Structure 1
Amino acid sequence: MHVKIGDVVGRQSYKLDVLFRVIDVKTTADGEQIAILYGDEVRLIADANCSDLVVVDEIERNSRKLKEKERIDQSYFLFRQDYQLLREKQEYTATSSYSHNEEFFHLPGRVLHVDGDPLYLQKCLSLYEKIGVPVNGVHVQEKEMPEKIGELLAKYRPDILVITGHDAYSKHKGEVDDINAYRHSKHFVQTVRNARSKVPHLDQLVIFAGACQSHFESLIRAGANFASSPSRVNIHALDPVYIVAKISFTPFVERINVWDVLRNTLTREKGLGGVETKGVLRTGMPFRKHSSQ
């Protein structure tokens, strides 16, 4: 069938399990048309013969989006519950068990989100804003991330760095532990290494790295605090936001249990993992409201 750039499609051979956006169509030497695909809700990149693709109509897309929204809303609800408990605990501690009346202010951790997909970046920035996390977002192609990360860290000086985009494991390219069998894992790994050469300590710069099916172990060894994907499964586009928001709003004197970070994500421990990490929130007082006089 005729498939064009921008179409939302599914693969017949996979029973339309994942919806993709067509970002490019190439013709091989023997005349076959191959589409390059980006996951519509998951951070997966794939290619497929156009003859295997079905353009998904708006009714089906809307039906899937409604189900997806329910999952996202549930994760957001759970996150807000956690956030409220964190705030109450922090207020109790900061005011010496409520013995002081002064109002105080919070300084959540600043995030630099570097994303290989501009559409996913915008989705994430909208959620950061909704949650209240201070963030700068930059779109950078995955292959260019290693060389650009140094200047970005110098420019934005974040407390938390997110390195994500699209990835995929290909069985025909090698075994599951061979990083060369992955689309962009080696670029993510080198980006983490380059970032760690600037800020070596895991608690001075908290790093999330990876996308769908990424080589989790290599990313952790390179210096990421949290990464995807331990079971080589697809991760949701918004999963990095829930992880770093939890870190951003956890006080710097507290250590974060890894499960506490993962349980409100959409993919959980099959798609995400990490190491024990300190929070980055700081509380100050007194808070003075600006006078209009």
Structure 2
Amino acid sequence: MSINIMDIVGRVSYHCDIIFRVIDKKEEDGKEIAILYGEDMRLIADAPIDDLVIVSQSTRERVTKELVSMEEQSLQLFRQDVDLLKQRQEYEATDGYSKSSNYFQIPGRVLHLDGDPAYLEKCLTLYEKIGVPVIGIHCDEKEMPLKIGKLIDYYRPDILVITGHDAYSKAKGKKGDINAYRHSKHFVQTVKEARKRIPHLDQLVIFAGACQSHFESIIHAGANFASSPYRVNIHALDPVYIVAKISFTPFMERINVWDVLRNTLTGEKGLGGIDTRGVLRTGMPYNKDQNDEYY
């Protein structure tokens, strides 16, 4: 059976542990090589065509069902967290419920750059479900350092997400060598360019990285949160859960890193960060008749 671009495949040598889609092909040392993007993991990989098999529809449906279940569980836990935050904010804004709840809230605005248009659409759908204001832009990882400055100037986000695909290659060097990673150096460069515009860690909160990314370099470049401390794969939606938590946390409160990570699909092996302030702003008064279209 021939393997074509956009086919959904698994790697025989890895027991089809991850489902990929074929996004390109190339010739290398006389062999036909497929370029693969993970369907649900932010991983990019190369594989010989003869190591690939088409994943059956039944297998895809089974894996999708399992992942949807995990996503729904994470979303439910996240919503519980947000509800608790809102209850506490209402209590404080109404002086212990002794005054009317005549206030409004402005969550942090997100600028999300993604190297994969399909993943970007999935993330935007989740942002909408959660209620996070977001601008999503598809941008090739290599182009991100060149474009990020003007995008920050134009959109003025509170939170910046820099993600796409990445992978560590043992053949290219040790895990400490950033050149052994597909796109980590581009994420690092993009974070550095963003910090030239807004150096303060609490004025622009940054998440950067993808599967197996060089976590330490990205954090040292100026990111608040990054992947991947243990060089594991991260789920496509993990960046959304992290920045949504930040978006809905009041700016006077410090975010405990574990509180951010515990409801993600990957957890602390794939994600990490530093203590950061929230970005939610509360104001008053709230005129329901005039302001519904804004808040």
The TM-score bracket by the shorter chain reads over 0.9
Tell me how far 1:103 sits from its aligned partner.
2.1
CA contact (8 A) 1:102 1:285 kept: no
Tell me how far 1:28 sits from its aligned partner.
2.8
Tell me how far 1:58 sits from its aligned partner.
1.1
Which residue in the other structure is 2:229 paired with? 230
List per-residue Cα deviations over 1:195-235 (Å, max 9, x = no partner): 00000000000000000000000000000000000000000
Q: How does 1:148-159 map to 2 (within 5 A)?
A: 148-159=147-158
CA distance change for structure 1 residues 102 and 75 in 2, over 3 Å: closer, same or farther?
closer
Q: Is the partner of 1:83 in helix, strand or coil?
A: helix
CA contact (8 A) 2:112 2:136 kept: yes
Q: 1: CA distance between counterparts of 2:82 and 2:26?
A: 47
Partner letter of residue 84 of structure 2? L
Which residue in the other structure is 1:22 paired with? 22
Which residue in the other structure is 2:283 paired with? 284
Which residue in the other structure is 2:259 paired with? 260
Partner letter of residue 268 of structure 1? G
1:50 aligns to 2:49 (yes or no): yes
CA contact (8 A) 1:174 1:180 kept: yes
Tell me how far 1:29 sits from its aligned partner.
4.6
Q: How does 1:63-102 map to 2 (within 5 A)?
A: 63-102=62-101
Partner letter of residue 49 of structure 2? C
Q: 2: CA distance between counterparts of 1:259 and 1:6?
A: 37
CA contact (8 A) 2:93 2:101 kept: no
Partner letter of residue 148 of structure 1? K
Runs of 4 or more off by more than 4 Å in structure 1? none
Which residue in the other structure is 1:181 paired with? 180
Which residue in the other structure is 2:293 paired with? none
Which residue in the other structure is 1:111 paired with? 110
Deviates more, 1:262-271 or 1:92-101: 92-101
Q: 2: CA distance between counterparts of 1:26 and 1:173?
A: 19
Q: TM-score, normalised by structure 1?
A: 0.98
Partner letter of residue 272 of structure 1? L
Which residue in the other structure is 1:210 paired with? 209
Q: 1: CA distance between counterparts of 2:258 and 2:191?
A: 22
Which residue in the other structure is 2:8 paired with? 8
Which residue in the other structure is 2:166 paired with? 167
Q: Is the partner of 2:252 in helix, strand or coil?
A: coil
Tell me how far 1:134 sits from its aligned partner.
0.2
Q: 1: CA distance between counterparts of 2:164 and 2:27?
A: 25
Partner letter of residue 44 of structure 1? L
Q: Is the partner of 2:62 in helix, strand or coil?
A: helix
Q: 2: CA distance between counterparts of 1:27 and 1:16?
A: 23
List per-residue Cα deviations over 1:55-108 (Å, max 9, x = no partner): 001111011100000000000010010000000001111122122114211100
CA contact (8 A) 2:169 2:181 kept: yes
Partner letter of residue 104 of structure 2? F
Q: 1: CA distance between counterparts of 2:254 and 2:270?
A: 22
Tell me how far 1:286 sits from its aligned partner.
1.3
Q: TM-score, normalised by structure 2?
A: 0.97
Q: Is the partner of 2:207 in helix, strand or coil?
A: strand
Partner letter of residue 6 of structure 2? G
- The CA RMSD over aligned residues, in Å, is 1.0
